[in-house]
Amino acid sequence: MSKHHEGPTYAHVVPVRTLLGVFGALMFLTILTYAVTYVDLGALNIWVALGIALVKGTLVALVFMHLLWDKKFYAVVLMSALLCVMIFIGIALLDSGQYQADLIPDFAPGIVQ
């Protein structure tokens, strides 16, 4: 691809076609995620929306952020961060779910009304 150009010796140059392809996919998925909210899927809606966001995010990370061609270690680094966030959110969710029953309903004396 970059054979015709004076590309750098130590990094990968992403072809324009790939960039445009990913761009198209992102645009399409954005419109899709917008459209899907007009269909009532019940509790599934949020997971569909998050699933689409995950696909979009993966595309951005792999192509726009060069993860596909870079050292795999960067992907490991990113995944470890996500794992960390997952642990944090997971435990906070698990715990707060457990003690909901102890809460005084709608306690918010600082809020008038």
Q: Per CB under 8 A, which of residues 1..60 are in contact with another protein?
A: 2, 5-11, 13-14, 16, 19-20, 22-23, 26-27, 30-31, 33-34, 37-38, 40-42, 45-46, 49-50, 52-53, 56-57, 60
From the CB of 100, what's the least distance to another protein, in Å?
A: 6
Give me 89's structure tokens: 């959110």
Question: By the 8 A CB rule, do 33 and 44 touch?
Answer: no
Task: Select from 33, 51, 85, 53 the least CA-distant residue to 61.
Answer: 53
Classify residue 14 by burial, with Cβ atoms within 10 Å: 0-12, 13-18, 19+: middle
Q: Is 69 in the site for another protein (CB under 8 A)?
A: no
Provide the minimum distance between the beta carbon of 87 and another protein in the complex, in angstroms, as a whole number: 6
Q: Cβ 8 to another protein, closest distance in Å?
A: 4
54 in Cβ contact with 33 (< 8 Å): no
88 is a site residue for another protein (CB under 8 A): yes
